Amino acid sequence: MRSYREHLILSGSSVKQALGVLNELSQDAILFVIDGSEKLIGSLTDGDVRRGLLNDFTLESKIDEIIQPNPRFIRKGEYNIQKIIEYREEDYRVIPVLDDSNVVVNIINFRHIKSYLPIDAVIMAGGRGQRLQPLTDTTPKPLLNVGDKPIMEHNLDRLAMYGIDDFWVSVKYLGDQIKKYFGNGKHKNISIEYVWENEPLGTIGAVAQINNFKHDYVLVTNSDLLTNIDYEQFFLEFIKHDADLAVLTIPYQVAIPYAVLETEKGEVKSFKEKPTYTYYSNGGIYLMKREMLAYIPKNNFFNATDLMQELIQINKKIISYPFSGYWLDVGKHEDFEKAQTDINNIKFK
């Protein structure tokens, strides 16, 4: 993966230097000009260089004389997802991301990612994986390969595909292996920090230890899920309903092979012939407003279902996001074997 820094060039560089970098960037040929503090000054394309040369600039001229001074950009943590969608639909492919001081902190390329969501992601990866023993005796479950890479890497890469670039990973069992494998995320143009559980803290308890989230929205997911969820649609549905928390749910249909009677005080009022009922199961992916995390107690065992119950009791708005795409909890040997086949047949891009 190309580092975003390859699109950066210092103010005062020559046109010849810029042409060399633009040539290396090939079809992504756009540069963002920065000052010594890495604040954005402008942008530069092949077209800008050609126009400059036609106006008698030379290869030794400074690029500052031919740059575009007001390039489009995205503000880190910006809520306006519609602006992101607009840029994408208008075919602005390569866009810088600025912090509040106008420093370039990332560059997104819509040839490689689908969106840029204002979300922090927490991946829960501390479990023992007992049902997958002996595979997990020396390897943590998140690092078991499905196809050509670990389960958790499929999960992380899909989140990153939607522009999520701030990650926290909760680790415990063989956590050093996970940290060694993923590192700080720099090689994927993302940031990864680690939360260590000294004692098991349940499916969401470790999140209470994080106090430096970058965004107003936090997504928490299990590390052992294999899914092709569209995270942008998940976020848009969350925003549409002004929810406090959304949970991905998996529909299960139960077919009754007999007529079902509906009775009242022993009297048959009606019946349904061989009905099918649909139930919704917890899919292990949660999206919430950051302030909901205040209801997670620190240093206590606490599950995501405990948080949902707490929020229901105080009348917070929790919505279900029914998902009919591919979803698999790789928790048992038969699931692990199924994942090896599915990864070659399911569209995950």
Residue 199 has pLDDT above 80, yes or no: yes
Strands ordered across the beta sheet of 40-45: 8-10, 30-34, 40-45
Average pLDDT over residues 304-310: 96
Residue 235 has pLDDT above 80, yes or no: yes
- Count of CA atoms in the C-beta half-sphere (13 A) of 171: 22
Give the Cα separation of 104 and 123 in Å (integer): 26
pLDDT value of position 348: 65
pLDDT value of position 1: 62
Tell me the CATH architecture of domain 119-248+281-342: Alpha-Beta Complex (3.90)
Residue 184 has pLDDT above 80, yes or no: yes
Average pLDDT over residues 9-26: 92
For the chain, what is the mean pLDDT? Answer: 92
Residue 194 has pLDDT above 80, yes or no: yes
Give the model's confidence band at 163: pLDDT under 50 very low, under 70 low, under 90 confident, else very high: very high
Domain boundaries, the chain: 4-109, 119-248+281-342
Give the Cα separation of 44 and 21 in Å (integer): 11
- Tell me which CATH homologous superfamily contains domain 4-109: CBS-domain (3.10.580.10)
- Count of CA atoms in the C-beta half-sphere (13 A) of 71: 28
pLDDT digits (tens, 9 = 90+) for 99-152: 999 999 999 999 889 999 999 999 999 988 899 999 999 999 999 999 999 999
Tokens of 197: 């559980």
199-208, 270-279, 300-309, 325-334 — which is least confidently predicted?
270-279
The answer to whether the beta carbons of residues 30 and 52 sit under 8 Å apart is no
pTM of the complete model: 0.88
Residue 31 has pLDDT above 70, yes or no: yes
The answer to whether the beta carbons of residues 121 and 158 sit under 8 Å apart is no
Give the model's confidence band at 274: pLDDT under 50 very low, under 70 low, under 90 confident, else very high: confident
Q: Does an H or E element contain 36, and which?
A: none
> Which residue type, as a one-letter code, is found at position 255?
A
Residue 349 has pLDDT above 80, yes or no: no
The answer to whether the beta carbons of residues 143 and 216 sit under 8 Å apart is no
